[in-house]
Amino acid sequence: MRRMTQLMGRPILEAPGELGGRPALADLLAGVRAALVGLAVVGVPVLGLWVVTPYADDGAAAATRLAGVLWLLGHGAPVLRGDADAPLTVTPLLFGALAVVRLHRAGAGVAARRGLRSRWGGPVALWAGYCAVAVVVALHCAGGLFRSRVLLDVLVVALVAALATAAGVRSAESPGVDEPAASPLDRLPPPYRPAGGAPVVRAAALAAGAGLVAAGGLLVVVSALSDAVTGGGRGMALLGRGPAALLGLLLLALVLLPNAVLWGAAYALGPGFVVGTGTVVSPGGAVLGPVPEFPLFALLPADGPGGWRLAALALPLLAGVVPAALLGRAAAGLRSPAVGGGDGLGPEPWSPAATATAALAAALSLGAGAVLLGWLSGGALAGGRMAWLGPVPWWTGLAAAGWLALVAVPGALLVRHRGLAPAGQPTLGPADGRGAYARLGWQARRSALALRAGTYTLVLRLSGPFRAGRGPDAGDPSD
């Protein structure tokens, strides 16, 4: 789209390329536009709910402040609630993901348009435009039921915007073809060094993370179905408070659904998560006190021992199968030359120690990602008992790394062993293949000559009596 929108035939915000003589202003407006699009995604549903709510207690200004607070929360910025200044730090990850993706794409577009000569001038202007909108939003939300902490919130939004924009700029750079980037794995001693294994380790960690996220989503779906079938519909009972309340709670549950999926992944890993001080929800059992009335909280198990929920511990084992296969195939030298490097015959196989090192590196990468996501998905809902909700980040990271190492190390070694040629039987290259074909052809010709000679000899022996004038039924010549 060349223009975001138009009013009276004139563009409100022009695309960066349409301000040809003013690239800095164009990039600044690109940052403003990225922030406004994110605000629109949050603000339109909030204002729509305010419109359809009968006898609303607050005016439009309170609705816009609520939209701004949700936008700030989506970046991980903390806000305050109520007269007691209760902290609210639970990040709606859906809004956060939309903001990061938007900034990443904008940064990549600005870097690609600017070229190598002014790589960072445009992204800095983009970041400044985004932060200018954040300052206005934080100042607007400084009062009301939900209040921003202006300076801290602006700093958090600026940090998130800088990281997302920088990642977009890096993605726009052309990767080095002649000299691939060195990784810490390449600095290990030769017996423990998986040659060219950094891409495979990243792919294995991402595959394991995707498997754990799928496990968390499966647990959320199973819990919802269980509540609807056997739990009396506790979650749906909370929604029967009129159309506006129904729509609002459903939208809020949708926004927090990525958080619930990550909580489900932490549950499958074993440590589980907490819903306030002195609580725990894990496969080993659930200890809960009073929880806020919210549809996702209604899906929490309320019984003692885990029972059938212990079967959730098998999901991390299944999530480690694909990473083990990826690492084992790489260790056996079955990667493509583009990934493994080397000549056209494919990469060199890894030693067992190098294979185990690559599997442990993937497990550590997954553990670090689990710590970060566990921290982002949780937070404070209020002070006192509700000071922390969600997974305990360090326990979640250790459990994720341990489960993957438990499956990936022996699994990768097994796949490597099955993928390698047996001992004493080297892999044939093209020259060896031509030699083997020549030897096979000579053996076939020699066998054919021997068979022909044997057949000729047999025919001569059988035809001897006939040449002497004695057939099979011929009598004695003297008769």
Q: Give the integer Cα–Cα distance in Å for 242 and 262.
A: 30
Give me the pLDDT at residue 469, please.
Answer: 45
User: Same domain for 193 and 167?
Assistant: no
User: Same domain for 144 and 62?
Assistant: yes
User: Same domain for 166 and 204?
Assistant: no
Q: Domain of 411?
A: 188-419
Given 396, 419, 442, the domain boundary residue is: 419
- pLDDT above 90 for 228: no
Flag the least confident range among 10-14, 276-280, 296-300: 10-14
Give me the pLDDT at residue 126, please.
Answer: 93
Q: Give the integer Cα–Cα distance in Å for 306 and 282.
A: 8
User: Same domain for 278 and 139?
Assistant: no
User: Is the separation of the CB atoms in 127 and 192 below 8 Å?
Assistant: no
Q: Give the integer Cα–Cα distance in Å for 282 and 197.
A: 35
Does residue 178 belong to any structural domain of this protein? no
Given 419, 436, 463, the domain boundary residue is: 419
Give me the pLDDT at residue 50, please.
Answer: 82
Q: Give the integer Cα–Cα distance in Å for 168 and 200.
A: 22
User: Same domain for 199 and 162?
Assistant: no
Does residue 449 belong to any structural domain of this protein? no
User: Same domain for 105 and 230?
Assistant: no
User: Average of pLDDT values for 158-168?
Assistant: 94
Give me the pLDDT at residue 1, please.
Answer: 42
List the beta strands (DSSP E) in 48-182.
79-81, 86-88, 146-148
Q: Which residues contact 391 (CB under 8 A, 6 or more apart)?
A: 262, 263, 266, 271, 272, 273, 274, 374, 377, 378
User: Same domain for 115 and 246?
Assistant: no
Residue 40: Cβ within 10 Å count: 14
- pLDDT above 80 for 235: no
What's the number of domains the chain is made of? 2
Does residue 466 belong to any structural domain of this protein? no
User: Average of pLDDT values for 61-85?
Assistant: 90
Residues 311-366: tens digit of each pLDDT: 888 999 999 999 999 999 999 887 544 444 444 344 678 999 999 999 999 999 99
User: Average of pLDDT values for 252-265?
Assistant: 92
For the chain, the average pLDDT equals: 78
Band (288; pLDDT cuts 50, 70, 90): confident
Q: pTM for this one? A: 0.78
Does residue 182 belong to any structural domain of this protein? no
Does residue 440 belong to any structural domain of this protein? no
Cβ neighbourhood burial of 55 (10 Å; 0-12, 13-18, 19+): exposed
The more confident residue out of 341 and 298 is 298
SS3 335: coil
Does residue 59 belong to any structural domain of this protein? yes
User: Same domain for 83 and 197?
Assistant: no
Percent residues over pLDDT 70 in the chain: 71
Dihedral sign, CA of 452, 458, 461, 462?
Answer: negative
User: Same domain for 140 and 270?
Assistant: no
Does residue 307 belong to any structural domain of this protein? yes
Q: Give the integer Cα–Cα distance in Å for 389 and 298.
A: 15
User: Same domain for 156 and 301?
Assistant: no
User: Same domain for 305 and 408?
Assistant: yes
- pLDDT above 50 for 2: no
Cross-sheet strand order for the sheet of 285-287: 285-287, 280-282, 273-275, 389-391
Q: Which residues contact 295 (CB under 8 A, 6 or more apart)?
A: 235, 236, 238, 239, 249, 250, 253
Band (224; pLDDT cuts 50, 70, 90): confident
User: Same domain for 245 and 158?
Assistant: no
Band (52; pLDDT cuts 50, 70, 90): confident
Does residue 366 belong to any structural domain of this protein? yes
- pLDDT above 70 for 265: yes
Given 172, 202, 227, the domain boundary residue is: 172
Residues in the chain: 479
Flag the least confident range among 129-143, 244-258, 283-297, 454-468: 454-468
User: Average of pLDDT values for 182-204?
Assistant: 86
